[in-house]
Structure 1
Amino acid sequence: MVEVWSEKRVIISTDPTALARSVADRFLRKVAKRLESGDIAHVSLTGGSMGSAVLAAVSRHPKRERVDWTRVHFWWSDERYLDRGHADRNETQAREALLDSLPVPDANIHAIAAADSGIRLDDAADAYAAELARFGSEDSAWPAFDICFLGVGPDGHIASLFPDRSEIGVTDRAVVAVRDSPKPPPERVSMTRPVINSAQRVWMVLAGTDKASALGLALAGASYASVPAAGAKGRKQTMFFVDEDAAGNVPPELIDRE
């Protein structure tokens, strides 16, 4: 099978607030269009300040009521292995920013097991892989996400796939357990690159001057082993949504003025 991915493009907003609003607006339009066909939509969320800011902007958006949220499934590309309800869990942040205010059935929110759930870290990773497989197809052991949101760290990491670590090179599993993470907390659960790259659209959202170097390297075609963001690619669309502070190293020819 020939793998085909889209060209990477960059959309620049003036500041983090405008960035969150822009991504929220585009997200609502894409999800509504997807649902028009009568299908369900699968969305993979991310954590971090911009991930939460985008969800909060969706919550405040006047068009959010036009989406049939009962046909949207939410997942996470990674999770911090902490107790349920911990403020640093991506699930907790997403629920507070958006999910708890939407009429989304509990069965449509696919959270990764918490540290106090009674299962070990490796079992939490296996359980999430099994949950992904429930929505897979004959060709794939996971759903094809309509949109996969990702944050990008100053070191270029995505999800909990960090530079120069073994997890970034895993291709025979959908989900991995992460130990001794270079960024706290030390224990995490993360989707692997094949799952992320099966998404129709990969949207990376980042802001701040501390992200400029990672963004520049990702766009310049750096090795994904050293800059994981360079290896994140959607099948239809690969977008970096950034603010002006993060855009210092963006080649002009990659900027989308849409």
Structure 2
Amino acid sequence: MPQSSAPPVLYSYPTVDKLTSSLANFILKAQTDAISHRGVFTIALSGGSLPNNLKPLADVKEIQWDKWQVFFADERIVPLDHPESNYAACSKAFLELVPIKKEQIHTINTELFREQTRIDPTAATKSGEEDDAENEAVEIADDYEKQLVNTFAGANAARYPTFDLILLGMGPDGHTCSLFPGHELLSENDRWVAEIQDSPKPPSRRISFTYPVLNHAFRCAFVAVGEGKQDMLSSILDRPEEGLPCSRVRPISPGLVFWFVDDAAAAKVKYPKTEYKWIEKATDDDLITGERKRMKEEMDAAVEAADQQ
């Protein structure tokens, strides 16, 4: 596979309703494409405002919920029913409204929590308990990585898991997942899932996918809405050389990164927009399918040229 990446694809909508409708259609297409190739759809979700933008999924009749394997691109080290839990937010928004089995939803293992984490998960680590807290976080991250291994190892001989779709948000500082500007976690290239004990945004203790996972996905899709996103969205798309965490999400070919934004968020962006092509039928091609076809044609031509030498 060529170690290159294509530029982001930017979709902008006049209203949030039109955005979420297109996003649901986009997810449906990603699901259909994945199931036709491998019989399963692997997706990773994020927290923040993203879960509420996924509510229309509950009304999409064509979704094959029995084929989904759901992960979380990052998670806070809190109980699964805690207000800060990304799982809890996604569950309330749509997962508990659809016929998906619990074993298809991969959450952090709360049985690994220390007693202190169970009692007050967002409290500062007590003096003298720093090593215990770090060991706990490492164990939780490693356990989640093992869940990835168990899901992807059978179908993937590659070094990294290849998600069909990872849905992401954009923080006010340009962070995504729990990858924050200037943090040492940005340079993690070996682990699939890593712990973070000093998140600039509370709660401080989390686990997160690393860039090797994000940048081996077939599709990464960001969602950003509202005037408050204008300046940061412009920085990320118009000045990627600044190296903000969101700008570093660039899946290698044939993977692509998409941005679903409303016109309010895109008001200051100079980056060219693309008109979204509504997927009417399961057989309709999307950009990923087109990229796969292009790569196959190039490889076939290379093989043919080599045979003629």
The residue that corresponds to 2:71 in the other structure is 75
Deviations 1:74-120 (A, max 9, x none): 01110011122112211011111111222222221111234874581
Matches within 5 A, 1:15-30: 15-30=15-30
The residue that corresponds to 1:165 in the other structure is 183
Report the Cα offset of residue 141 of structure 1: 4.0
The residue that corresponds to 1:98 in the other structure is 94
Does 2:118 match 1:122?
A: no
The residue that corresponds to 2:103 in the other structure is 107
Cα distance in 1 for partners of 2:219, 2:275 equals 18
Amino acid at match of 1:192: T
| SS of structure 1 residue aligned to 2:57 | helix
Cα distance in 1 for partners of 2:160, 2:240 equals 29
Q: Sequence identity of aligned pairs in percent?
A: 27
Rg (Cα) greater in structure: 2
| SS of structure 2 residue aligned to 1:120 | helix
Q: TM-score, structure 2 length as denominator?
A: 0.76
The residue that corresponds to 1:202 in the other structure is 220
Amino acid at match of 1:121: A
Amino acid at match of 1:18: K
CA-based RMSD of the aligned residues comes to 2.0
The residue that corresponds to 1:231 in the other structure is 248
Amino acid at match of 2:245: P
Question: 8 Å contact 1:132–1:141 — kept in the other structure?
Answer: no
Question: 8 Å contact 2:112–2:136 — kept in the other structure?
Answer: no
Question: 8 Å contact 1:201–1:238 — kept in the other structure?
Answer: yes
Residue number among 246, 251, 256 corresponding to 2:265 in the alignment: 246
Question: 8 Å contact 1:81–1:115 — kept in the other structure?
Answer: no
Cα distance in 2 for partners of 1:2, 1:36 equals 23
How many residues are aligned here?
251
Report the Cα offset of residue 208 of structure 1: 1.6
Deviations 1:196-236 (A, max 9, x none): 11110110001122222221122134347x51000012343
Report the Cα offset of residue 54 of structure 1: 2.4
Report the Cα offset of residue 173 of structure 1: 0.9
The residue that corresponds to 2:157 in the other structure is 138
Q: TM-score, structure 1 length as denominator?
A: 0.90
| SS of structure 2 residue aligned to 1:11 | strand
Change (3 A) 1:163 1:14: same
Does 2:102 match 1:86?
A: no
Question: 8 Å contact 2:112–2:140 — kept in the other structure?
Answer: no
Question: 8 Å contact 1:84–1:116 — kept in the other structure?
Answer: no
Cα distance in 2 for partners of 1:87, 1:147 equals 25
| SS of structure 2 residue aligned to 1:239 | strand
| Range moving further from structure 2, 211-220 or 30-39 | 30-39
The residue that corresponds to 1:54 in the other structure is 53
Deviations 1:122-171 (A, max 9, x none): 111111111111123222243x1111100001110000000011011111
| SS of structure 1 residue aligned to 2:240 | coil
Question: 8 Å contact 1:147–1:200 — kept in the other structure?
Answer: yes
Residue number among 197, 209, 234 corresponding to 1:191 in the alignment: 209
Cα distance in 2 for partners of 1:66, 1:239 equals 22
